[in-house]
Structure 1
Amino acid sequence: MSFRVYARRVRDRGLPFGRRYRALRNAVGCYCPLGFNGTWAYLSTAGDLGNDEAALLHALERLEASRTVWLGEMESFADRRGAEKARHRRTPRRAETRYLLGWRWPGPEGRQAVLGEVGRLWAVHHRSPFPDVPAGDKGALAELDTWLAGCASAYLANGADLDAGRRDVIAVCLPQLRRHVARLGHPWDFPQAYEHFRLTLKMTELIHNDTAARGTWG
């Protein structure tokens, strides 16, 4: 079923509250800009979603507001692509598509939502020991891990702000990290390393999309 169907069920006071709660979870399954767990964690800051109707409805409103902005962005992107194709530019800009389809929270609460998710991921990353990695990649991965951990720590300490130097570090490190994560996943010889750096990649992309690319194409 569609997002709109689940949203109507969340608002339907004729349904048992448990079904309305499950409908919200299903709606998140349809639209989860931070991933399911990250999106649900942010919506849960509205209150006790399993027992409080006001919190449940507020969470839905947050989700709908973000989705509306995202749909508008995608519509604008489609319009721009139509104009670009008319000028014989067949390939969209990779940076733009990464931003539009990447980890972020479209809408007025974007920075607050991303800050919360980066904090959640950082708590996991900070507790995790450096994993076993391929010997030939150990130096490069250790360096990336150190640099990007410093950027994440600064982002959180400064309330979602990042200086130009650290934004440059992220811009340089992200392509390298993407390549390493792809290699760690194929073949599946270093699962702990893959999960560690996949989390690092998500955290870094969230920060990048919030601090560097925000508003670039809007």
Structure 2
Amino acid sequence: MSFGNYARKVRDRSLPYSRRVSALRSCVQLYRPIGFHATLGFLEEIAGPYQRDEAALLKALDVLLTSRAGWHADMRNYARKRRQAKQRGQRIPPINEVNPTGFPRIWYGAARPAALYALRYWSRNGLPALTATSDEIATTLGTLVTAVLSADGDLAPQQRQLVDATVADLQRRVRSDLWHHDQGAYYQAWNLLRIARLVKTASSHVQLGQ
């Protein structure tokens, strides 16, 4: 079923309330910019206890729809820029160009607060296991997560440079042939990259996705 169909079920007062809540969760399955559980938690933080309050449920859906609309607008804008670049002969996008197509990397409309929420979620669920290794990049990332949460996103310039370097290192690791000879290491690198991007968004002075 499509996102739109699930969204209509959320609004349908003729349905049992539990089914409407389940429909919201199905919407989040299809659009989860900071992960499924973190997205649900962030919606509850913004909208209130949607599991038992109808006004909060409808607000949560509206917040999710607004973010998703921002993502779709970003994808359309990216496609337009790529068409223009190809017309100028630039067939391959720059390596540092962010392609929003496929899945969103930020929460459109509330990028920094959502990233900070997701990092708090990760710090309670999964991050300790990911960073409890002899991997220098993983250890560095764990330190950066602690720093960005302690400072509520306000990192020093040197720390933001370290964030950029960590993201770049993990991108190279994910894009290598790691998948072919160590899938466990690949998935660890992929998850670390997700967290590093959250740190970058949380510490960015540019209002991403606004």
Structure 1 SS opposite 2:84: helix
What is the TM-score normalised by the length of structure 1? 0.80
Q: Structure 2 regions of 5+ residues with no counterpart? A: none
Match of 1:86 in 2: 87
What is the TM-score normalised by the length of structure 2? 0.83
Q: Structure 1 regions of 5+ residues with no counterpart? A: 132-137
Structure 2 SS opposite 1:94: coil
Distance 1:215 1:160 in 2: 12
CA contact (8 A) 2:120 2:149 kept: yes
- State the 1:213 CA deviation: 8.8
Structure 2 SS opposite 1:96: coil
CA contact (8 A) 2:71 2:108 kept: yes
CA contact (8 A) 2:51 2:57 kept: yes
Distance 1:53 1:6 in 2: 16
User: Is 2:204 the partner of 1:202?
Assistant: no
1:133-173 CA distances to partner (integer Å, 9 max, x unpaired)?
xxxxx5xx2x2123222221111111122221111112112
Give aligned pairs, total.
Answer: 206
CA contact (8 A) 1:105 1:114 kept: yes
- State the 1:183 CA deviation: 6.3
Distance 1:196 1:124 in 2: 14
Distance 1:4 1:126 in 2: 33
Shift of the 217–67 alpha-carbon distance from structure 1 to 2, 3 Å rule, reads: closer
Determine what percentage of the aligned residue pairs are the same residue: 33
Instruction: Pick one of 103, 106, 116 that aligns with 2:105.
Output: 103
Structure 1 SS opposite 2:145: helix
Structure 1 SS opposite 2:41: helix
1:193-212 CA distances to partner (integer Å, 9 max, x unpaired)?
66655443221111223444
Query: RMSD in angstroms over aligned alpha carbons?
Result: 2.8
CA contact (8 A) 1:104 1:210 kept: no
Match of 2:150 in 1: 157
Shift of the 183–214 alpha-carbon distance from structure 1 to 2, 3 Å rule, reads: farther
Shift of the 110–173 alpha-carbon distance from structure 1 to 2, 3 Å rule, reads: closer
User: Is 2:60 the partner of 1:47?
Assistant: no
